[in-house]
Amino acid sequence: MSILVVGSVAFDSVETPFGKVAEVLGGSGTYFSTAASFFTPVNLVAVVGADFPEEHLDFLRSRNVDLAGLQRAEGRTFRWQGRYGYDLNEAETLDTQLNVFSDFRPELPAAYREAEYVFLANIDPELQLEVLRQVQRPRLIACDTMNFWISGKRQALLKTLQHVDVLIINEAEARQLAEDPNLARAARRILAMGPRTLVVKRGEYGVIMFSEHSVFAAPAYPLEEVFDPTGAGDTFAGGFVGYLAANRTLDEDGIRRAIVFGSVMASFTVEDFSLNRLRTLEYRELEERFTRVKLLTEFSGLS
**Residue ranges binding its own copies (CB under 8 A):** 86-87, 181-185, 188, 202, 204-206, 208, 214-219, 222-226, 253, 256-257, 259-260, 287, 290-291, 294-302
Min dist CB 253 to its own copies, Å, is 5
- For its own copies, the closer CB: 95 or 253: 253
Min dist CB 224 to its own copies, Å, is 5
DSSP H/E element including 29: helix 28-36
Q: How far is CA 303 from the centre of its chain?
A: 39
Closest CA to 69 of 160, 136, 131: 131
- For its own copies, the closer CB: 124 or 272: 272
Min dist CB 244 to its own copies, Å, is 13
Min dist CB 19 to its own copies, Å, is 15
- Any bridge partners for residue 46, and if so which? 70
- For its own copies, the closer CB: 17 or 152: 17
CB-side exposure of 190: number of CA atoms within 13 Å?
A: 36
- For its own copies, the closer CB: 53 or 222: 222
Min dist CB 262 to its own copies, Å, is 12
Specify burial of residue 35 (Cβ count, 10 A radius: 0-12, 13-18, 19+).
buried
- For its own copies, the closer CB: 77 or 176: 176
Beta strands in 121-230 (DSSP E): 140-143, 166-170, 197-201, 207-211, 214-218
